[in-house]
């Protein structure tokens, strides 16, 4: 039986959810973080399959632990074991899984894998990272930002580095919730233009400002949040040396942090390549919130699972 009580069945893209639903998700995250015992039976008797084509520490552990804390059962499926789309079609994988499990979490390369699985499965599909977005990361990050500032409206988030999937999801969420967003990216590595256009459309409704710049110092100026990610993501290892040369002026260090507000915080989705996109001084400094945001992945992902699956 399909779930009809919530407007969206899946969590594939930030763009799919309304600002109201996203705020409700964050409020639920706060409640679940403060009163976890109140939700210990939310997924009682339910099973969640987890497909991971890419390596994972935070996403794998937080979903696994989160499902357990909600009273559910997780089933881990590696790419070596399932060989998605090769051993058998995505359609057939979906039609098999939906007969056994109540939800699916997938970390994959192609965004189409997420959308195709969601199309073929009646049960919820959660995007745990693909080439285009990392929506679970963005929601956890915004929980951390709100914990530090009380609100996001009128604040500035500066993403400095590669215009990648994390950049996309943060930009879309900022645009939805009214937070100003600046991406300071080397030329040729800017975020996907269609995502920028979509974010600017949402920003008109929320009052947020979306900027795409090519200067790190300018991007960091007066920021409330300085955010970065690795310069070469999974699957881009062959470009690592070239990217290190091109991105060297975009390193987050003490000098660049001084361009931000004195009250600014530093964030990184992790894993980090210390000494490349960020220095140890910043990673381990008093402005760093990297482990707070890592913890908050647990609470926001539990909220996603609860919103999509509780009461199914």
Classify residue 214: in a domain, yes or no: yes
Confidence of residue 281 (pLDDT cuts 50, 70, 90): very high
Confidence of residue 81 (pLDDT cuts 50, 70, 90): confident
**Are both 128 and 139 inside the same structural domain?**
no
Total tally of structural domains belonging to the chain: 2
CATH number at residue 113: 3.40.50.1370
Q: What is the mean pLDDT of residues 248-261?
A: 98
Domain residues for the domain of 216 are 135-293
**What is the residue-averaged pLDDT of the chain?**
95
Classify residue 3: in a domain, yes or no: no
User: Is 229 among the residues known to form the active site?
Assistant: yes
Q: What is the mean pLDDT of residues 41-58?
A: 96
Half-sphere exposure of 236 (CA within 13 A, CB side): 16
**Are both 108 and 164 inside the same structural domain?**
no
**Are both 237 and 159 inside the same structural domain?**
yes
Tokens (6 digits) for 276: 């490349």
Q: How far is CA 144 from CA 26, 216, 222, in A?
A: 10, 23, 19
**Are both 141 and 274 inside the same structural domain?**
yes
User: Is 200 among the residues known to form the active site?
Assistant: no
**Are both 283 and 174 inside the same structural domain?**
yes
**Are both 120 and 143 inside the same structural domain?**
no
**Are both 159 and 277 inside the same structural domain?**
yes
Q: How far is CA 112 from CA 88, 129, 161, 251, 296, in A?
A: 16, 12, 25, 32, 27
User: Is 245 among the residues known to form the active site?
Assistant: no
Question: What pLDDT score was predicted for residue 110?
Answer: 95
Question: What pLDDT score was predicted for residue 1?
Answer: 34
Classify residue 6: in a domain, yes or no: no
**Are both 125 and 233 inside the same structural domain?**
no
Q: What is the mean pLDDT of residues 236-265?
A: 94
Question: What pLDDT score was predicted for residue 3?
Answer: 41
Question: What pLDDT score was predicted for residue 83?
Answer: 78
In the set 114, 116, 137, 251, the catalytic residue is 137
In the set 58, 60, 134, 243, the catalytic residue is 134
Question: What pLDDT score was predicted for residue 8?
Answer: 60
User: Is 69 among the residues known to form the active site?
Assistant: no
In the set 269, 289, 299, 306, the catalytic residue is 269
In the set 58, 107, 243, 299, the catalytic residue is 107
- Scored b (16 or more CB within 10 A) or e, 97-112 reads bbeebbbbbbbbeebe
223 φψ region: left (φ > 0), alpha (ψ -120 to 50), beta (else) = beta
Question: What pLDDT score was predicted for residue 78?
Answer: 86
What percentage of the chain reaches a pLDDT higher than 70?
A: 97
Q: How far is CA 168 from CA 162, 171, 190, in A?
A: 10, 5, 10
In the set 10, 102, 162, 229, the catalytic residue is 229
Cβ atoms of 162 and 236 within 8 Å: the answer is no
Q: What is the mean pLDDT of residues 11-19?
A: 97
The model's pLDDT over 153-179, given as tens digits with 9 standing for 90+, comes to 999 999 999 999 999 999 999 999 999
**Are both 275 and 200 inside the same structural domain?**
yes
Classify residue 9: in a domain, yes or no: no
**Count of CB atoms situated within 10 Å of the CB of 210:** 22
Q: What is the mean pLDDT of residues 208-213?
A: 98
pLDDT over threshold 80, residue 312: no
**Are both 164 and 288 inside the same structural domain?**
yes
Cβ atoms of 82 and 99 within 8 Å: the answer is no
**Are both 140 and 111 inside the same structural domain?**
no
Classify residue 1: in a domain, yes or no: no
Classify residue 67: in a domain, yes or no: yes
**Are both 102 and 198 inside the same structural domain?**
no
pLDDT over threshold 70, residue 6: no
Cβ atoms of 37 and 8 within 8 Å: the answer is no
The model's pLDDT over 126-144, given as tens digits with 9 standing for 90+, comes to 999 999 999 999 999 999 9
Classify residue 145: in a domain, yes or no: yes
pTM: 0.96
| Alpha helical stretches, state H, 17-164 | 19-34, 58-69, 79-82, 90-97, 111-120, 135-149
In the set 60, 289, 297, 299, the catalytic residue is 297
The model's pLDDT over 57-80, given as tens digits with 9 standing for 90+, comes to 999 999 999 999 999 999 999 888
Classify residue 4: in a domain, yes or no: no
């Amino acid at each position: 039986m399909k779930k009809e009580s919530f407007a969206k069945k899946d969590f594939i893209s930030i763009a799919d959810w309304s600002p109201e639903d996203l705020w409700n998700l964050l409020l639920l995250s706060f409640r679940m973080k403060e009163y976890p015992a109140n939700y210990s039976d939310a997924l009682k008797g339910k099973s969640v399959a987890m497909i991971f084509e890419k390596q994972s520490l935070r996403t794998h552990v937080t979903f696994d632990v989160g499902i357990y804390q909600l009273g559910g059962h997780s089933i881990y499926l590696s790419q070596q074991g399932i060989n998605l789309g090769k051993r058998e079609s995505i359609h057939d994988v979906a039609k098999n899984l939906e007969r056994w499990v109540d939800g699916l979490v997938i970390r994959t390369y192609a965004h189409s894998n997420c959308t195709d699985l969601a199309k073929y499965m009646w049960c919820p599909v959660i995007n745990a990272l693909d080439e285009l977005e990392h929506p679970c990361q963005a929601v956890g990050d915004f929980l951390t930002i709100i914990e530090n500032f009380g609100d996001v409206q009128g604040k500035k988030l500066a993403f400095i580095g590669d215009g990648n999937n994390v950049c996309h999801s943060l930009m879309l969420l900022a645009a939805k919730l009214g937070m100003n967003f600046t991406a300071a990216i080397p030329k040729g590595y800017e975020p996907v233009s269609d995502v920028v256009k979509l974010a600017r459309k949402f920003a008109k409704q929320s009052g947020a400002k979306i900027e795409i710049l090519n200067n790190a110092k300018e991007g960091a100026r007066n920021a409330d949040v300085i955010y970065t990610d690795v310069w070469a993501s999974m699957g881009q290892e062959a470009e690592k040396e070239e990217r290190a040369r091109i991105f060297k002026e975009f390193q987050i260090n003490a000098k660049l942090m001084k361009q931000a507000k004195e009250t600014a915080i530093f964030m990184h989705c992790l894993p980090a390549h210390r000494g490349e996109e960020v220095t140890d001084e910043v990673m381990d400094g008093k402005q760093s919130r990297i482990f707070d945001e890592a913890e908050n992945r647990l609470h926001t992902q539990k909220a996603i699972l609860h919103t999509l699956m509780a009461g199914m």
